[in-house]
Structure 1
Amino acid sequence: MALLPVLAFLLLGSGFWRMLHGLHNGQFDPHAVMTPQLGKDVPSFPALAGIPLSGAGTVQGAGTGIDAAALRGQTGPVLINFMASWCIPCVAEMSQLKAISQVLPVWGIAYKDRVPRVTAFVRRNGQPYARLAADPDGRAAVEWGVTGVPESFLVMPGGQILWHGTSALDEATFRRKILPLLMQARKEGRW
Structure 2
Amino acid sequence: MKRLKLFIPLLVFVLLAGFLYRALYQDPRTLPSALLDKPFPAFSLPSLGENQQTLDASLLKGDVTLVNVWATWCPSCHVEHPFLLKLAQQMGVRIVGINYKDDTQQAKQWLVKLGNPYQATVVDETGDLGIELGVYGAPETYIVDQQGIIRYKHIGVVDERVWQESLLPIVKQLQAKGDPS
Same fold (TM over 0.5): yes
CA distance in 2, matches of 1:141, 1:105: 20
Choose which of 42, 45, 70 in structure 1 pairs with 2:40.
42
1:180 aligned partner: 169
Q: Structure 1 length as normaliser, TM-score?
A: 0.80
Q: Structure 2 length as normaliser, TM-score?
A: 0.84
1:152-191 matched pairs, under 5 angstroms: 152-190=141-179
Q: Which amino acid aligns with 1:92?
A: V
2:49 aligned partner: 52
- Identity, % of aligned pairs? 29
1:1-20 matched pairs, under 5 angstroms: 7-20=11-24
Q: Does the residue aligned with 2:29 lie in a helix, a strand or coil?
A: coil
Confirm whether residue 141 of structure 1 aligns to residue 130 of structure 2.
yes
Deviation at 1:77, TM superposition (A): 1.4
Q: Which structure 1 segments of 5+ residues have no match?
A: 54-61
Contact residue 111 and residue 135 of structure 1 kept, 8 A: yes
CA distance in 1, matches of 2:175, 2:108: 34
Deviation at 1:3, TM superposition (A): 7.0
Q: Does the residue aligned with 2:122 lie in a helix, a strand or coil?
A: strand
CA distance in 2, matches of 1:154, 1:117: 26
Choose which of 83, 88, 96 in structure 1 pairs with 2:83.
96
Aligned pair in 2 of structure 1 residues 114, 30: CA closer, same or farther (>3 Å)? closer
Contact residue 140 and residue 154 of structure 2 kept, 8 A: yes
CA RMSD of aligned residues (A): 2.3
2:66 aligned partner: 79
Greater share of strand: 2
Deviation at 1:88, TM superposition (A): 0.2
2:55 aligned partner: 66
Q: Which amino acid aligns with 1:80?
A: V
Q: Does the residue aligned with 1:169 lie in a helix, a strand or coil?
A: coil
Greater share of helix: 2
CA distance in 1, matches of 2:172, 2:21: 39
Aligned pair in 2 of structure 1 residues 189, 13: CA closer, same or farther (>3 Å)? closer
CA distance in 2, matches of 1:94, 1:83: 9
Q: Does the residue aligned with 1:75 lie in a helix, a strand or coil?
A: coil
Q: Which amino acid aligns with 1:114?
A: D
